[in-house]
Amino acid sequence: MIKSTAFEFINRSVRTLATVTIALSAVVLYRNPADAAGDANNGAAIFIRQCSLCHTIAKGEPNRFGPNLFGIVDRKAGIAPGYKYSSAFLAMANWTWSPDSIASFVAAPAKTIPGNRMGVFQGIAERDEQDLLAYLATQK
Ligand code: HEC
């Protein structure tokens, strides 16, 4: 009698655990598409940690060691008012920044535009890319 009650209890616990596990997996799976699109809040934190030493991003903020990045997604390269770009940068960067081109540049600045002055920055980790891009896109 006691044995069968204990068995039922364990059985129920196992079933509850299984339900919880399935529910948790569903939450994790559901989160994945959002992660692919990038989390702008996390991107803001990444920007502060990795970019703000050299860049401002709000409209009208002064250039630092690097140019102000307001509206950088879909902005022509090399046009921040009052910023003196390096000749290496100006000679090569004759494009308009897209999420893809920003991603390759910030992943490896020295390789993408040899001799540019952001080359001292070693680049961001791949796992930070989508969140950072989502944040940059909100700053326009
Ligand atoms: C060590 C300083 C430094 C850090 C850190 C840095 N940058 Fe830069 N960045 C620069 C400089 C300097 C330039 C201009 C390069 C030149 O003129 O040679 C630049 C240029 C750029 C440009 C091109 C802007 C334009 O007007 O075309 C983008 C985009 C950019 N940086 C994004 C970023 C992002 C995003 C981060 C953070 C992940 C970052 N940078 C981190 C110094 C830095």
Domain map (residue ranges) of the chain: 1-37, 38-138
- The tokens for 19 are 């339900």
pLDDT at 84: 98
Counting atoms of ligand 1 from 1, which one is nearest the CA of 89? 18
pLDDT at 6: 62
Instruction: Output Rg (C-alpha) for the chain, integer angstroms.
Output: 24
Angle between helices 129-138 and 2-37 (to 10 degrees): 50
For the stretch 41-60, pLDDT in tens is 999 999 999 999 999 999 99
Low-confidence ranges of the chain (pLDDT < 50): 24, 26-29, 31-35
Considering the domain delimited by 38-138, tell me its CATH architecture: Orthogonal Bundle (1.10)
CA of 66 to the centre of ligand 1 (A): 5
pLDDT at 140: 95
* 79 within 8 A of 70, measured Cβ to Cβ: no
- The tokens for 121 are 């920055």
Q: Give the angle subtended at the CA of 78 by the CAs of 77 and 82, to the nearest 5°.
A: 145
